[in-house]
Chains A and B, each alone.
Chain A
Amino acid sequence: MKLFVGTPLEIPYLKFKKQKLGVFSLGILLLLYTALLFEGFLAPYGPNTKFRDKSYHPPHRVRFFKEGKFIGPYVHEYVLVNPIFKSYQVDRSKVHRIRFFVPGEPYKLLFFIPSTLHLFGTTDGAPVFLLGTDNLGRDLLSRMIYGAKISLTIGFVSIFLALFGGILIGGLSGYIGGITDWLIMRLAEIIILLPTFYFFLFLRSVMPSDISPGQRFFYITAILAIPSWAGSARGIRNWVLSLKNADFVVAAVIAGASKVTILLRHIIPQIRHILILNITLSVPGIILGEAGLSFLNLGITEPSVSWGMLMNAAMDINILLRYPWLLSPALIIIVTVFSFFAFGYALKDALDPRS
């Protein structure tokens, strides 16, 4: 009987496949990231489209039967009855059928193909709000879909920034050694020891205020990257130190390999899976960090949209009690963060040769 000898990737793959929760989470994450690409198509309206007289509009209830007969999805119109407390009443006489692939606001499919086609909407001009609206009458569902762009990418952009810095600084620190190494590592330790969120707040307080949304995104990303940078720099430096003198690296030196070859062929491959883990397990923290900052109105601001910023609207308990649908962005944040962790730990088990 022949023994099963997997390639280095085959075995982790088999092990990962066995972990139901991990596979499921990966599915969710893939779904979320695909949605991000098709935001304009999936969202019925633009993120900043305001509907007059529709502020704090509750989520529409989707119905399928009219007088016992199936007629497909439709909604009734909700009429504003109290403009002060924004209470609405259902007007059963008005029916708006929900159609699929309807024309609507123009947007760019995949960010470059001009299009007006939306996944769903009404054809009679009446809006449909599946998750309700906010104080300015903007569709929460659309805003959540557009918010995914910042919330889901900020984690990756900033972790890559952190890793790039980490590999560069940690790698150099390990290679050079001496006082440089000592200083960098003490700095990193201080950063690691500081409570992360207060550190964000501190960094945020030195950020200039009169900047464009694009610059703002960049600053916030950088702020979020710094604590992870310190962690990965220290980890990578320790790995470089322990690998620098590994016999196979010495063998490569004798063989005549250059420093770059040694780093790329011999050192980085050994820590590749650690880097991957580092990424998956750090992203949710950064997503939460962004949410936290934006929740306090210190992160992403109008006209950009992020999930944390949407949560900002739900800050006041009185408002929240009256308009509970404003909390729905919290749900998507929790699902995303949970998926990342579940996926990360499944990956960790799969990559761990001892399990």
Chain B
Amino acid sequence: MNPLLLQIENLTTEFQTVTHRTPAVEKLNLTLQENEILGVAGESGCGKSVTILSVLRLLPPNGTIHKESKILYQERNLLQLSEKEMNSLRGKDLSIVFQEPIGSFNPLFPVGKQIMEVIRTHEPEVPVKQAWERAIELFRQVRIPHPELRIQDYPFQFSGGMLQRALIALALACSPRILFADEPTTALDASTQIGILDLLLERKEATGMSIFFVSHDLSLLEGISDRICVLYAGRMVEACTAKELHTHPLHPYTQDLLEAVPRKGTFKKEKRLYSIQGKVPDPQNRPTGCKYHPRCSKAFDRCRKEEPELFGNESHLVRCWLYVDAH
């Protein structure tokens, strides 16, 4: 096992809304090893982005992290760093690719200029010309055709997919130690997606960085991750290696997620897709007992009353009463 790079211990993040304090993430424990890809899965609103924002301390002003929570990076608790220390880590050691490419660029400046600025902020000694060339090289690496021309374009001149590639170029600009990727390829097409994943993997091998990869596409995560963790309603519900998840998905939620996507070689006349009923509960209206029970087809009495803990062992954790006797 590689040495640990990031340890999230007991992370609870709450939001203060007009009427409520809502816990978006509750008592989450996660570790990221050096040179590892951790896949994080779950539907919209399960707390994937909030986890990333908490680690990077980029929460909106109404978000707070509990005092007992710890986020250890290279033996330092990120939650206790000053804003200044955090700033020098963000964008350099800890870099992020957002879900929404459009909001990540300022619409009024050329994309290349913005990449150059990031480089110059973290490495002021790099001359402008060299930073510009590095930006072009990054564009080439993420396979944007005509990098030396496109680099001068404004964000609105890019298609969604191209913009996402530019965003990845921006994130890789300062060779980060950990890349937080929040659904980075959701907007990309199949072959480009593979291309980008390949590129990320190649950079991972070359630089030894780790990737915290968030996606709602479990089959994609299975292909690239070393370990996978499934979140539901702000909790971890299943965690194991990618291989294990592929062969033995245990939690009903994980199984339902896999059933809801068309698998390769299925056609509409053969099989109707499984639709998970209902939706992710709002944080202020989470049900009692197992948070998944209103949507779970295997729910029984106990599920409605008591919330299961994580059962199983280190190599496969699952939060479901069906597995209370396992191991």
Chain A interface (Cβ < 8 Å from any Cβ of B): 1, 3-4, 238, 241-242, 245, 354-355
Could you say which residues of chain A place their CB within 8 Å of the CB of B18?
A: 3-4
Residue of B with least CB distance to A4: B18
Q: Point out the residues of chain A lying under 8 angstroms from B61, CB to CB.
A: 355
Contact of B108 among A1, A238, A245, A355 (CB under 8 A): A238
Contact B19–A4 (Cβ < 8 Å) = yes
Find out whether the CB atom of B19 lies under 8 angstroms from the CB atom of A3: yes
Q: Taking the complex as formed, is B20 at the interface, i.e. its CB lies under 8 A from any CB of chain A? A: yes
A354 to B61, CA, bound (A): 10
Question: Can you list 10 contacts pairing A with B, beta carbon distance less than 8 Å?
Answer: A1-B20, A1-B284, A3-B282, A3-B284, A4-B18, A4-B19, A238-B107, A238-B108, A241-B156, A245-B156
A1 touches B19 (CB 8 A): yes
Residues in A with CB closer than 8 Å to B108 are 238
Q: How far is B63's CA from A354's CA once the two chains are assembled, in angstroms?
A: 13
Residues in A whose Cβ lies below 8 Å from that of B20: 1
Interface residues of B in 88-111 (CB under 8 A from A): 107-108
How far is B309's CA from A274's CA once the two chains are assembled, in angstroms? 50
Query: Are A242 and B19 within 8 A (Cβ)?
Result: no
**Binding site secondary structure of chain A:** loop
Q: Could you tell me which B residues sit within 8 Å of A by CB distance? A: 17-20, 60-61, 107-108, 156, 282, 284
Inside 8 A of B60's CB, which chain A residues have their CB?
Answer: 354
Enumerate chain B residues within 8 angstroms of A3, measured Cβ to Cβ.
Answer: 17-19, 282, 284
Which residues of chain B come closer than 8 Å to A354, judged between CB atoms? 60
Alpha-carbon distance between A3 and B18 when the two chains are bound, in angstroms: 8
| Alpha-carbon gap, A245 to B20, bound state (A) | 38
Which 9 residue pairs spanning A and B have beta carbons closest together? Answer: A4-B18, A242-B156, A4-B19, A242-B107, A1-B19, A241-B156, A238-B108, A3-B19, A1-B284
Q: Which residue of B lies closest to A243 (CB)?
A: B156
Q: Give, as a whole number of angstroms, the nearest-CB distance from B104 to chain A.
A: 14
Assembly CA distance A4 to B60 (angstroms):
19
Please measure, in the bound complex, the distance between the C-alpha atom of A355 and the C-alpha atom of B60, giving whole angstroms.
Answer: 9
Complex alpha-carbon distance, A1 and B61, angstroms:
24
Query: How far does the Cβ of B51 sit from chain A's closest Cβ, in whole Å?
Result: 21
List chain A residues, Cβ under 8 A from B107. Answer: 238, 242
CA gap between A1 and B18 in the complex, in Å: 12
Q: How far is the CB of B216 from chain A (nearest CB, A)?
A: 22
With both chains docked as a complex, state the minimum distance between the C-beta of A223 and any C-beta of chain B, in angstroms: 27
CB nearest to B20 among chain A residues: A1
Q: Kindly report which residue of chain A lies nearest to residue B282, judged by CB atoms.
A: A3
CA distance A1 to B20 in the complex (A): 10
Q: How far is the CB of A107 from chain B (nearest CB, A)?
A: 50
Q: Which residue of A lies closest to B155 (CB)?
A: A242
| Other contacts beyond A3-B18, A4-B18, A245-B156: 15, CB < 8 A | A1-B19, A1-B20, A1-B284, A3-B17, A3-B19, A3-B282, A3-B284, A4-B19, A238-B107, A238-B108, A241-B156, A242-B107, A242-B156, A354-B60, A355-B61
Give bound CA distance, A222 to B108, whole Å. 28
A120 to chain B, nearest CB (A): 48
Report the separation of the CA atoms of residues A354 and B19 in the bound assembly, to the nearest whole angstrom: 18
Q: CA of A238 to CA of B155 in the docked complex: distance in angstroms? A: 12
Which residues does chain B contribute within 8 Å of A241, judged by CB atoms? 156
Interfacial chain B residues near A238, Cβ < 8 Å: 107-108
CB of B101, distance to nearest CB on chain A (Å): 14
